[in-house]
Structures are given as structure tokens and as C-alpha cells.
Amino acid sequence: EAQVTQNPRYLITVTGKKLTVTCSQNMNHEYMSWYRQDPGLGLRQIYYSMNVEVTDKGDVPEGYKVSRKEKRNFPLILESPSPNQTSLYFCASSLAPGTSYNEQFFGPGTRLTVL
């Protein structure tokens, strides 16, 4: 089954404790992206990756890191989480840009609370 998986689905942590949210896709997609969703703000892009070892900042990258060592995985790293990073996080993947139909497939979401 084609899918994007994220782990963990729910996480409560404390300020400053480093954490990683994993994301994996099995569709051989080149493009992967992380979004955060906050009430009243919709979804905003944090980081994206066009392919292995190619990553770049989205609209709200502060406080986050990513890596893309393998095509299927795109982990999101919070080196020192703060309460303003409490949010619902989505990983998404799609074929490379340039195709006319390039739906992004979303993972199930990770609900993060930073105390």
C-alpha cells in the first residue's frame, strides 16, 4: 500500500529536550516536505527536499532541522524544542516538481506538545 508514515503520532515533551519525528514514504517520491498546522493559520511549510541530500527552508524553518540521506526518509529534528513549537506536524511526499499533476501524499500527522 502506498503511504507516508510518521512516528510518533503523539508526543509530549519538555522544553529543550531534543526530539526527532520520523517520516518515511514507499512511493519512490523525489519531493518531500514538512508542514505544521496551527489553528487559524492553516498549514505552513517548514522544510522541503527536492531529492537525496537536497534540502531547503520553507516559510517557517526556525527551530527545526531536517536531513535526507535516503530517498524514502525525511526526519524532522527539533534540537531544543520550545512551547511555540506545539503543533500538528505533517510530512508529505510527491513526484518531482514539473509534472502537471503532483498531488502531495500526507502522513497521518504528529501531534506535538512542548511543556
Partner 1 sequence: AQKITQTQPGMFVQEKEAVTLDCTYDTSDPSYGLFWYKQPSSGEMIFLIYQGSYDQQNATEGRYSLNFQKARKSANLVISASQLGDSAMYFCAMREAFSGNTPLVFGKGTRLSVIA
Residues engaged in binding partner 1 (CB under 8 A): 31, 33, 35, 40-43, 45, 48, 50, 56, 58-59, 88, 90, 92, 97-106, 108-109, 111
Q: Which is closer to partner 1, CB of 59 or CB of 79? A: 59
Q: Output the smallest distance, CB 29 to partner 1, in A.
A: 12
Q: Is 84 exposed, middle or buried (0-12, 13-18, 19+ CB in 10 A)?
A: exposed
Residues 58 and 35: their CA atoms lie apart, in Å, by 9
Task: Between 84 and 102, name the residue whose CB sits nearer to partner 1.
Answer: 102
- DSSP, collapsed to helix, strand or coil, labels residue 53 as coil
